[in-house]
């Protein structure tokens, strides 16, 4: 039985010009996951990521922390092949695990309800711009998930959902082609939307459930899926106990 661990990336740069980069806290969260898996002797056989910077950097910080914590001073147990080879991106990047285009989702919603410049000014004038931006983005997400305006988007929710399921199947295909132990563990750094879509499908639920799940997923929280023959099952959702080792302040959702 193969276990696939779907890890959401560390905290990104919400509200900044470039969202696709880890915040300082996001880097720490990924390192904490690595330290936790090393401390608990959780074996990681293979690591994949999406194509996004925040996903790849989460994997880098995780691996640096995991490897140094588990193998430093214990060289006899170092695996002959690393779980991830950063010198060869094609070996670990699976673009199907990229998040949906959040800018497109937000802009299409904003332009449908008013002038984008006016909305930008409204956010800037708000008592808490970050809070107001989050509220408007939540409205945008509801519109995208509702399915009444699919033609507006570069990638509609149904298209994105199909891609998420294809991403999981691609991992299954990759794993079957590798010489791994039967009880192997594969770690994938991806994003909340992908994890929510895969989880909702496994629960035989639709878009609304995926939307609610996505809002609850914690940065570097891990959702576990098991593969056995042609059966895929949900084992756990959004596990994030590693973040409490230094206090609740490390638990974030963006």
2-98+162-250: which CATH topology?
Answer: Rossmann fold (3.40.50)
Could you tell me the mean pLDDT of each successive run of 10 residues in the chain, 254 residues long?
96 76 95 95 95 97 92 63 91 97 88 75 84 88 94 96 97 87 92 98 96 96 92 96 87 88
Q: Which residues of 87-103 are buried (b: 16+ CB within 10 A; e: fewer)?
A: eeeeebbbebbbbbebe
Every domain range in the chain assigned CATH 3.40.50.1240: 2-98+162-250
**pTM above threshold 0.85:** yes
Give the per-residue pLDDT at 183.
87
Burial of 53 (0-12, 13-18, 19+ CB in 10 A): middle
Residues 61 and 28: their CA atoms lie apart, in Å, by 8
Share of the chain above pLDDT 90, in %: 67
Give the per-residue pLDDT at 13.
80
């Amino acid at each position: 039985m193969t276990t696939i661990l779907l890890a959401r990336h560390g905290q990104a740069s919400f509200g900044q010009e470039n969202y696709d980069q880890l915040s300082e806290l996001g880097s720490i969260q990924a390192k904490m996951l690595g330290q936790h898996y090393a401390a608990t002797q959780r074996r990681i056989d293979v690591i994949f990521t999406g194509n996004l910077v925040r996903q790849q950097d989460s994997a880098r910080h995780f691996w640096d922390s995991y490897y140094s914590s588990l193998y430093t001073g214990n060289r006899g147990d170092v695996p002959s092949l690393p779980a991830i080879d950063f010198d060869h991106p094609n070996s670990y990047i699976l673009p199907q695990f990229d998040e949906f285009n959040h800018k497109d989702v937000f802009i299409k919603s904003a332009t449908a309800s008013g002038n984008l410049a006016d909305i930008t000014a409204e956010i800037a004038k708000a008592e808490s711009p970050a809070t107001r931006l989050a509220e408007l983005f939540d409205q945008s997400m509801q519109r995208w998930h509702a399915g009444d305006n699919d033609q507006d988007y570069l990638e509609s929710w149904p298209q994105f959902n199909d891609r998420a399921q294809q991403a999981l199947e691609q991992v299954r295909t990759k794993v079957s082609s590798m010489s791994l132990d039967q009880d192997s563990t594969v770690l994938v750094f991806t994003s909340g939307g992908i994890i929510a879509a895969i989880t909702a499908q496994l629960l035989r639920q639709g878009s609304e459930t995926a939307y609610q799940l996505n809002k609850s997923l914690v940065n570097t929280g891990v959702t576990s899926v098991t593969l056995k023959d042609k059966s895929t099952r949900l084992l756990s959702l959004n596990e994030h106990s590693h973040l409490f080792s230094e206090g609740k302040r490390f638990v974030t959702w963006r």
